[in-house]
Amino acid sequence: MGIQDRREREKSERRQHILRCTKELLMEHGVDSVGMADIAKKAELSKGTLYLYFSKKEDLFKEICDEAAERFLKHFYAAMPPDMSGLDALKFCWRCYLDMFGESEDMILIFNMKYYIASEFPFNPFDADQEPDSTYIFYTLIRDMIRQGVTEGVFDPEVKEKVIARTLLSLFSYIVENVAKLPKRERKPYLLIEEIRQTFEIILRGIAREGVERSLLRLPGLSDSR
């Protein structure tokens, strides 16, 4: 390995180290209580060195969120069976979410960071010109699966897939926000999952076309995904 390659590897490793330290601090102290000085101390770096990698903590938060989204999407697309229906794809997306985040507080942390970066999240119009960040990627994923379900005759033809996708994200964020306000010892990931599951099922039943078998609209719980 040449000198340049070694330097690039060391820079990448240090960047990942900074992200890990930031995440640990956020889990322990919360988004509002962690500053760049805290991160530098945790990572055993000078503030000047930290700023070479991230100019502000919002950039750090965004990278953590985007990395989580990228990991999820890689897992989803790698495991997704071919030629799935829109409804099955939605249910499979939910199962992948359980696999990755079902028993951890990662999603609580990610949503807290998103609120810190953009307090209006996710209540924005998702315009076509919007930068394709992690929020927009999930929005388009859900939107396209609902659109496919409408085309396949599972969902009501009057369904507005953009509105439903925004509603799902909004309800999801509201539930996570409420759980995040609880003291750490009272946060129960399985209760969060159950509330999100029930809300998701209510939405699916509401947009399903008349005559669709209700059992097809059920989602697995944590115990079913193990």
What is the structure's pLDDT at 63?
Answer: 86
* CA–CA gap between residue 176 and residue 159 (Å, rounded): 26
Overall fold of domain 1-55 = Arc Repressor Mutant, subunit A (1.10.10)
Task: Using CB atoms within 10 Å of the CB of residue 209, give its burial: 0 to 12 exposed, 13 to 18 middle, 19+ buried.
Answer: middle
What is the structure's pLDDT at 88?
Answer: 96
* CA–CA gap between residue 126 and residue 137 (Å, rounded): 10
Cis peptide before 157 (omega within 30 of 0): no
What is the structure's pLDDT at 73?
Answer: 87
Prediction pTM value: 0.78
Q: Give the number of other Cβ atoms within 10 Å of residue 117's Cβ.
A: 17
CATH of 64-225, one of 1.10.357.10, 2.30.30.60, 3.10.580.10, 1.10.3720.10: 1.10.357.10
pLDDT along the chain (226 residues), means of 10: 76 92 84 89 94 90 83 89 94 89 71 64 52 74 95 95 89 78 74 88 95 92 65
List the beta bridge partners of residue 155: 208
What is the structure's pLDDT at 115?
Answer: 66
CB 23 within 8 A of CB 109: yes
The number of residues making up the chain comes to: 226
* CA–CA gap between residue 113 and residue 65 (Å, rounded): 8
Q: How many CA atoms lie within 13 A of 157 on its CB side?
A: 3
What is the structure's pLDDT at 198?
Answer: 93
CB 34 within 8 A of CB 26: yes
Domain borders along the chain are: 1-55, 64-225
| Angle between helix 86-101 and 189-207 (nearest 10) | 170
* CA–CA gap between residue 214 and residue 56 (Å, rounded): 48
Q: How many CA atoms lie within 13 A of 140 on its CB side?
A: 13
| Angle between helix 57-79 and 36-43 (nearest 10) | 70
Give the list of residues 6+ apart from residue 123 with CB closer than 8 angstroms, or none: 166, 170
